[in-house]
Amino acid sequence: MNVPKDREISVQDIEQNIGISKDFNVFELNNALGRRDAVKAIQIVDYFAANPKSNPPIMVMATLYGYFSKVLKYHYLADKSSSAVAKELGISPFFVKDYELAARNFNKSKVFHVFHVLKDYDLKFKGVEVGPQTSEGDLLREMIFKILN
């Protein structure tokens, strides 16, 4: 679909043409998990399950691993000033507060637990110790539940 020159491109135009939703993407999943917002996290995972080609589990897991790696790194920073955190984590200072909140919600032990869950589900997505009738969506939902609990 082409957008007429006299009209501004909307979020709906983008979603319709390339399938990206600003509310249901892996970055919003990171944010929901960091806030421990289980309802939003499950809504996003349900969207992923309905659109598996747009949100392959391997991409979701890689992004979650990167996110929680930064949360763990945050825990070990001596200087937690906004500029130092942004530099050390390689993020915009705009996102520092998100990582501060995630670090409060996921202490070091809980982050290590998340890594263990990601490792287990990496194997499950590859077919290890999972039944043939188990869908990727079910595995994603289960994984998010275990991360949050």
For a pLDDT cut of 70, what percent of the chain falls above it? 86
| pLDDT per position as a tens digit, 92-127 | 999 999 999 999 999 999 999 999 999 999 999 988
Provide the domain count of the chain. 1
Query: Is residue 113 in a domain?
Result: yes
Rg (CA), the chain: 17
Query: Can you give the pTM of this predicted structure?
Result: 0.83
Instruction: State both tokens at 98.
Output: 């998100």
CATH of the domain at 107: 1.20.272.10
H or E element: which one contains 84? helix 82-89
With respect to residue 91, please indicate whether it lies within any of the assigned structural domains.
yes
Tell me what pLDDT residue 53 has.
85
> 29: Cβ–Cβ under 8 A, 6 or more apart, which residues?
41, 44, 45, 48, 60, 63, 64, 144
Domain span including residue 144? 11-148
What pLDDT does 36 receive?
A: 97
CA distance 100 to 85: 9
Residue 36 tokens, joined:
């421990």
